[in-house]
Amino acid sequence: MTLTVAGSINIDHVIRLPQFPRPGETLTGRDYRIVPGGKGANQAVAAARAGATTRFVACVGEDALADSLVAGFAADGIDTAAIDTVEGVNTGVALIQVNDAGENTIALAAGANGELTPSRLQRHAAALNCEQLLLQLEIPLETNLAAARAAKSHGARVVLNPAPARSLPDELLALVDLITPNETEAERLTGVAVNDDAGAAAAAGALHAKGIEVVIVTLGARGVWLSERGDGRRVPGFSVQVVDTTAAGDTFNGALVAALQQGRPLAEAVRFAQAAAAISVTRPGAQTSVPFRAEIEALLEQH
């Protein structure tokens, strides 16, 4: 089976702070780093490291770091033939602050990600002949819609991580087979507050009503709410020492589709994805924190 990820590539500028600054406040940070990121890229890397045969449809700019980013994806075994270099723009940028509790705030500039238009996507139509398509919301919405339509026409399972949080048209949701919102994103999509398991179940029900077969609401330290055709339950996560939550959700999504590609049952795939995410939060950074399949299997064996 082949997985295609269509999504964003960012250069992450990360700084650690004791706490997030208030408006007008200046704080001295530490451990400033420039690392590869972007939800699409993070999820493609997570999927490939977890064992998935992965293709990536994306754009980079003409800046100095673009070539090294693409080379890094290739080193992880990702098919990079559908990554375009766009003239006259920079690669996407994320400014990330991480506090001492491991929480983060992120400011984005789309850059080349905004150039992944439906017409550019059409140049890579062959990549959308796949068994699974994984999407996020850091590229133009109309591109996600076009990608979902094309992949669906080939019989693919369409997986959407609806992040960053925003409202979405029913036209796109109707093409989605599996969706993975966090609590904030689930509330944005459904109007249902996800403060407990009852809220998660209600939000999942609202998403099922839009035609989505499988809903996985990620609940942070509480695990996930897994609902298949309305049959839902909470799956507790792993207890670990949190260093940095950046890319935890991306790691979960990439590992999830990798496990499904390997033919694991849904519940087992969710557990595999939770283990991958648990490892990632014990490490700093985005792609730098993403584990490999052997590490994930080792954690599962310990539990």
Per-residue pLDDT of the chain (303 residues; tens, 9 = 90+): 799 999 999 998 989 999 999 999 999 999 999 989 999 999 999 999 999 999 999 999 999 999 999 999 999 999 999 999 999 999 999 898 989 988 888 898 999 999 999 999 999 999 999 999 999 999 999 999 999 999 999 999 999 999 999 999 999 999 999 999 999 999 999 999 999 999 999 999 999 999 999 999 999 889 999 999 989 999 999 989 988 888 999 999 999 999 999 999 999 999 999 999 999 999 988 898 999 999 999 999 998
Please give the structure tokens belonging to residue 139: 């590229």
SS3 of the chain: helix, strand, coil, percent, to 5: 40, 25, 40
219 is in an annotated binding site: yes
Q: Can you point out the beta strands (E) in the chain?
A: 3-6, 10-16, 30-37, 54-60, 83-85, 92-98, 104-109, 132-135, 157-160, 178-179, 214-218, 224-228, 231-235
Q: Domains in the chain and their CATH numbers?
A: 3-8+39-89+117-302 (3.40.1190.20)
- This prediction has a pTM of 0.94
Question: Which residues are known to be catalytic?
Answer: 250
39 is in an annotated binding site: yes
246 is in an annotated binding site: yes
38 is in an annotated binding site: yes
12 is in an annotated binding site: yes
- List Cβ<8 Å contacts ≥24 apart for 166-174: 166/137, 168/137, 168/141, 169/141, 169/145, 170/210, 171/145, 172/141, 172/144, 172/145, 172/148, 173/207, 173/210, 173/211, 173/212, 174/210, 174/211
Q: From CA 55, how far away is CA 127, in angstroms rounded?
A: 7
